[in-house]
């Protein structure tokens, strides 16, 4: 019986590299795979699945937010691989669940578990609820040697914990961190904002 897999990890944990390796293994055996990704993920090119290591491949299917995925021909497909699954809607995850059952196809979804505010993404939450197998792709904290469990967001060099979960194209950078380092950096960012605000008020009052 084929399974629906959710392989999650923090930023920089080589999730996409893992996906590309699985795709290579299938294709090396002469087997057909379908590579999918959310339509909204345009960071490395709208139709490209690209690892931070530089390796990449073409996506076969770009998934829209409410797409049913039922109009696709799955005949001869051995496996479906989904990149950046956290950006998918709950309805799309449910559609993948049904395709897995209907076509007896293994579907492996890769993505973040939580956003930079430590909240579950919609797609990730539905995968946690529906997946047959949930696996963690582990990585270490950017600041220490503990295991990373958080995704820390910096904007203009300052750690932030507010704002939209999806903000493609902004001047931002993400770091994998343990909770201790995450909390320290966020608190430093908040303190910096307070100091900047006080300095601005003092300058304005002169």
- CATH (domain of 112): 3.40.50.300
The per-residue pLDDT for 201 is 52
Q: Is the domain of 158 the same as that of 202?
A: yes
| One domain for residues 147 and 192 | yes
Which of 92, 117, 138 is where one domain is finished? 138
Instruction: Choose one of 99, 122, 138: the last residue of a domain.
Output: 138
To the question of pTM greater than 0.85 for the whole model, the response is yes
Q: Are residues 91 and 124 in the same domain?
A: yes
How many structural domains are present in the chain? 2
| Overall size of the chain counted in residues | 206
Instruction: Examine the domain organization and report whether 187 and 125 are in the same domain.
Output: no
Catalytic residues: 84
Domain shared by 115 and 157, yes or no: no
Closest by CA to 168, choosing from 7, 50, 27, 42, is: 42
Last residue of a domain, one of 115, 138, 161: 138
Pair 116, 205 in one domain: no
pLDDT at 170: 46
101 and 133 in a single domain? The answer is yes
To the nearest 5 percent, what fractions of the chain are helix, strand and coil?
35, 25, 40
Residues 6+ positions from 155 with CB-CB distance below 8 Å = 163, 170, 171, 172
Sequence-distant (≥ 6) Cβ neighbours of residue 2 within 8 angstroms: 100, 103, 104, 105, 106, 107
Same domain, 10 and 29: yes
Residues 153 and 134 in one domain: no
Quick one: how far is CA 58 from the chain centroid?
18
On whether both 128 and 50 belong to a single domain, the answer is yes
> What confidence score (pLDDT) does residue 203 get?
57
User: Which residue is associated with the tokens 């299938």?
Assistant: 26
154, 87: one domain: no
Residue 127: closest CA among 161, 79, 164, 84: 84
**Domain extent at residue 190:** 140-206
Q: Smallest Cα–Cα separation from 74: which of 48, 110, 104? A: 104
- Rounded to whole angstroms, the Cα distance separating 184 from 47 reads 37
pLDDT (tens, 9 = 90+) of the chain, 206 residues, equals 799 999 999 999 999 999 999 999 999 999 999 999 998 876 766 788 988 888 889 999 999 877 778 889 999 999 999 999 999 999 999 999 999 999 999 999 999 999 999 999 999 999 999 999 999 999 999 999 999 999 999 988 889 988 877 765 445 689 999 999 999 999 998 886 655 555 555 555 55
Question: Does residue 36 share a domain with residue 84?
Answer: yes
Residues 46, 39: contact at Cβ < 8 Å?
yes
């Amino acid at each position: 019986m084929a399974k629906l897999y959710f392989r999650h990890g923090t930023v920089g944990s080589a999730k996409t590299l893992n996906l590309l390796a699985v795709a290579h293994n299938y294709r090396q055996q002469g087997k057909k795979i379908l590579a999918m990704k959310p339509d909204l993920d345009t960071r490395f090119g709208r139709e490209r699945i690209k690892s931070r290591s530089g390796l990449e491949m073409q996506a076969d299917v770009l998934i829209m937010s409410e797409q049913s995925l039922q109009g696709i021909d799955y005949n001869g497909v051995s496996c479906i691989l989904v990149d950046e699954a956290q950006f998918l809607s709950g309805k799309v995850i449910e559609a993948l669940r049904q395709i897995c059952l209907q076509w007896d196809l293994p579907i492996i979804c890769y993505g973040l578990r939580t956003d930079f505010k430590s909240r579950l993404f919609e797609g990730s939450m539905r995968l946690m609820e529906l997946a047959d197998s949930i696996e963690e792709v582990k990585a270490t904290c950017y600041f220490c040697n503990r295991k990373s469990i958080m995704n820390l967001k910096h904007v203009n060099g300052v750690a932030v914990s507010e704002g939209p979960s999806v903000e493609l194209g902004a001047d931002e950078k993400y770091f994998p961190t343990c909770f201790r380092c995450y909390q320290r950096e966020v608190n430093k960012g908040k303190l910096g904002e307070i100091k900047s605000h006080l300095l601005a008020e003092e300058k304005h009052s002169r």
